[in-house]
């Protein structure tokens, strides 16, 4: 419920940055609770958990290879390329009037197979983890068995007794719905009002039950949770507090580490790495940050980015209230075209881990997302959804701030990676509209 004017005023006195945030101005917040590696308090997850999660993907590789022919060439692994975007870089610098020290790359999760978004990491992982647990507990398979069996009639009819539910603004539902239906689960997706029609249509096509809610994401989650757990064999994928989603995302760090090595990109004190991660509830950027910090410690600098209309993790961390506070409490409407980021209240699990690991958060206006979408298309021939472009403006915010000076970082040889989080499944018609909109803002 919205705070009273007096309550808002006292929050703003305590945290003056809330003034521009509630005025919906693009803002950069540097995290005063960022801890050096050696001072990071004990976290609820460890590096070992991340390596265990990677092993699950490995066990399921034969399953993926058989279920999805497009994964034949990657041997059943789901991964996206890291791309240099050297043609876009001078265009961004020119348009936004700044200089990027070092190189700019795009981590192209918009190309992740099957789900077309970063949700292939967390969403698929959680469904597979649950399916594996059920199969092992019921004596259907062992950890060293051939996981192609997950596609057999025996497994399908076994999973048909169980149901999986999820609340989603769109992409999470797509990933959970697709993977659950592939395995034979009954799956229900509870969508918020801003979820795109084509995402609902696609899910229904895949055999998922789609329920639409007139309110925002939190309402869809609430309703979905109640409905799902009413079934004794129901399992709810809870974006507001899921450890499994988080671990699925964290594996991206191990993959990126390998790609950096292969591309001969160094990460150390003289070669700092900056990541710019689009943020909704904070699960995907939090999981990736957790993983990258485990691998690169103080040499990696992770910034989240949220829409000016949905700065939920920003307000949660700035005030220290985390999931106890929402953007609506401050009268912010949570209305944005970046549907993957349209979240009013942060994840409790992810946010408590990100608290000491992230360097900061900046916000971006929807119009800029469209502009960058069109610039990326025109200069690199890469088409992504509006949410996915948010990281591209990161270097400007960070390099123009006191951050590098404060932490004494030499950025001459910096590597900047904007994480592109979704886009491949967007229908051509919708993509054309995104593009045209960006074009119209650029003239
Ligand atoms: C879900 C999503 C994000 C953010 O992930 P969270 O876990 O919600 O923070 C970013 N971009 C896209 C396209 C997404 O679908």
Question: CA 150 to CA 420: how far, in whole Å?
Answer: 31
426, 280: one domain: yes
316, 352: one domain: yes
pLDDT digits over 191-207, tens only? 987 788 999 999 999 99
397, 372: one domain: yes
> What would you measure as the largest C-alpha separation in the chain, in angstroms?
63
Q: Using most ligand atoms within 8 A of CB, pick from 176, 277, 280 the residue to mutate for ligand 1.
A: 280
The confidence band for 215, taking pLDDT boundaries of 50, 70 and 90, is: confident
**Residue 278 alpha carbon to ligand 1 centre in Å:** 6
Q: What does the pLDDT average to over 60-71? A: 96
Asked if pLDDT for residue 103 goes beyond 80, the answer is: yes
128, 233: one domain: yes
Domain's final residue, options 243, 271, 302: 243
Whether 76 is in a domain gets the answer: yes
Whether 55 is in a domain gets the answer: no
Q: Residue 6 has which token pair? A: 């007096």
285: Cβ below 6 Å to ligand 1? yes
239, 319: one domain: no
The confidence band for 1, taking pLDDT boundaries of 50, 70 and 90, is: confident
Q: Using most ligand atoms within 8 A of CB, pick from 172, 275, 284 the residue to mutate for ligand 1.
A: 284
255, 196: one domain: no
**Residue 239 alpha carbon to ligand 1 centre in Å:** 10
> Residue 170 belongs to a domain with what CATH number?
3.40.50.1100
Whether 174 is in a domain gets the answer: yes
283: Cβ below 6 Å to ligand 1? yes
**Residue 191 alpha carbon to ligand 1 centre in Å:** 15
**Residue 342 alpha carbon to ligand 1 centre in Å:** 9
Whether 368 is in a domain gets the answer: yes
119: Cβ below 6 Å to ligand 1? yes
Range of the domain at 191: 116-243
- What pLDDT is recorded for position 220? 84
286: Cβ below 6 Å to ligand 1? no
Give the residue carrying structure tokens 């989650």: 221
Provide, rounded to the nearest whole percent, the portion of the chain with pLDDT above 70.
Answer: 100
Domain's final residue, options 223, 243, 263: 243
388: Cβ below 6 Å to ligand 1? yes
279: Cβ below 6 Å to ligand 1? yes
**Residue 6 alpha carbon to ligand 1 centre in Å:** 33
423: Cβ below 6 Å to ligand 1? no
Q: What does the pLDDT average to over 420-430? A: 97
Number of domains in the chain: 2
161: Cβ contacts below 8 Å, ≥ 6 apart: 233
396, 265: one domain: yes
270, 416: one domain: yes
248: Cβ below 6 Å to ligand 1? no
CA distances from 251 to 35, 175, 255 (A): 22, 17, 7
Q: Atom of ligand 1 at shortest distance to CA of 285?
A: 9
**Residue 171 alpha carbon to ligand 1 centre in Å:** 8
Q: What does the pLDDT average to over 183-190? A: 96
Residue 377 burial (CB count, 10 A): 19
CA distances from 303 to 30, 66, 205, 275, 309 (A): 9, 37, 37, 6, 18
Question: CA 237 to CA 230: how far, in whole Å?
Answer: 14
Helix axes of 47-67 and 243-262: crossing angle, nearest 10 degrees:
80
Asked if pLDDT for residue 166 goes beyond 90, the answer is: yes
Phi, psi of 80 (to 5 degrees): -120, 155
Question: CA 86 to CA 100: how far, in whole Å?
Answer: 11
Please state the three-class secondary structure of 137-185 as a single string: HCCCCCCCCCHHHHHCHHHHHHHCCCEEEEEECCHHHHHHHHHHHHHCC
**Residue 234 alpha carbon to ligand 1 centre in Å:** 24
Predicted TM-score of the model (pTM): 0.97
237: Cβ below 6 Å to ligand 1? no
101, 141: one domain: no
**Residue 145 alpha carbon to ligand 1 centre in Å:** 33
Q: Measuring CA to CA, which residue among 71, 64, 69 is closest to residue 111?
A: 71
356, 308: one domain: yes
Whether 285 is in a domain gets the answer: yes
Could you say which DSSP state residue 102 is in? S
Whether 146 is in a domain gets the answer: yes
280: Cβ below 6 Å to ligand 1? yes
- Which strand (E) or helix (H) includes residue 349? helix 348-354
Whether 50 is in a domain gets the answer: no
Q: Whose CA is nearest to atom 12 of ligand 1?
A: 340
- Which strand (E) or helix (H) includes residue 82? strand 82-84
pLDDT digits over 316-325, tens only? 999 999 999 9
- In order, the DSSP letters of 295-356 are HHGGGEEEEEEEETT--HHHHHHHHS-GGG--TGGGT-----S-GGG--SS--HHHHHHHTT
The confidence band for 240, taking pLDDT boundaries of 50, 70 and 90, is: confident
pLDDT digits over 341-379, tens only? 999 999 999 999 999 999 999 999 999 999 999 999 999
- What pLDDT is recorded for position 216? 75
pLDDT digits over 6-35, tens only? 999 999 999 999 999 999 999 999 999 999
Whether 52 is in a domain gets the answer: no
Phi, psi of 343 (to 5 degrees): -130, 125
Q: Residue 202 has which token pair? A: 């696609």
Q: What does the pLDDT average to over 80-92? A: 97
- What pLDDT is recorded for position 174? 94
Rg of the chain, C-alpha, whole Å: 21
368, 222: one domain: no
Domain's final residue, options 189, 224, 243: 243
């Amino acid at each position: 419920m919205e705070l009273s004017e007096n309550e808002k005023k006292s929050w703003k006195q305590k945290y003056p940055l809330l003034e521009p945030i509630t005025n919906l101005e693009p803002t950069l917040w540097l995290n005063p609770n960022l801890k050096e590696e050696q001072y990071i308090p004990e976290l609820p997850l460890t590096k070992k958990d991340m390596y265990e999660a990677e092993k699950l993907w490995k066990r399921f590789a034969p399953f993926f290879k058989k279920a999805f022919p497009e994964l034949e060439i990657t041997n059943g692994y789901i991964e996206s390329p890291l791309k240099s975007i050297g043609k876009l870089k001078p265009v961004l610098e020119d348009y936004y009037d700044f200089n990027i020290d070092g190189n700019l790359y795009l981590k192209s999760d918009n190309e992740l197979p099957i789900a077309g978004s970063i949700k292939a990491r967390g969403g698929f992982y959680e469904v597979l983890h649950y399916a594996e647990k059920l199969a092992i507990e019921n004596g259907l398979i062992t950890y060293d068995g051939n996981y192609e069996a997950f596609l057999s009639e025996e497994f399908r009819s076994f999973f048909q007794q169980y149901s999986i539910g999820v609340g989603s603004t769109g992409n999470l539902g797509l990933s959970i719905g697709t993977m659950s239906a592939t395995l034979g689960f009954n799956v229900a997706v509870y969508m918020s009002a801003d979820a795109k029609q084509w995402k609902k249509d696609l899910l229904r096509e895949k055999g998922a039950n789609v329920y639409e809610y007139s309110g925002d994401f939190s309402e869809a989650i609430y309703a979905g949770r109640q409905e799902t757990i009413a079934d004794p064999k129901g399992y709810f994928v809870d974006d507001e507090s899921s450890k499994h989603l988080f671990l699925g995302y964290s594996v991206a760090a191990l993959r990126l580490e390998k790609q950096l090595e292969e591309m001969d990109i160094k990460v150390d004190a003289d070669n700092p790495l900056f990541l710019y991660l689009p943020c909704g509830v904070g699960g995907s950027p939090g999981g990736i940050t957790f993983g990258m910090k485990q691998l690169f410690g103080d040499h990696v600098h992770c910034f989240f980015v949220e829409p000016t209309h949905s700065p939920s993790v920003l307000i949660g961390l700035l005030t220290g209230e985390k999931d106890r506070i929402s953007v609506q409490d401050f009268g912010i409407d949570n209305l944005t075209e970046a549907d993957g980021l349209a979240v009013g209240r942060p994840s409790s699990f992810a946010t408590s881990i990100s608290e000491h690991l992230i360097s900061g958060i900046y916000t971006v206006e929807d119009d800029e997302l469209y502009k960058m979408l069109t610039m990326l298309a025109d200069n690199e021939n890469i088409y992504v959804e509006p949410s996915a472009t948010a990281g591209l403006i990161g270097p400007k915010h960070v390099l123009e701030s006191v951050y590098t000076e404060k932490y004494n970082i030499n950025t001459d040889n910096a590597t900047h990676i904007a994480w592109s989080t979704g886009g491949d499944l967007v229908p051509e018609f919708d993509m054309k509209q995104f593009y045209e909109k960006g074009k119209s803002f650029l003239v």
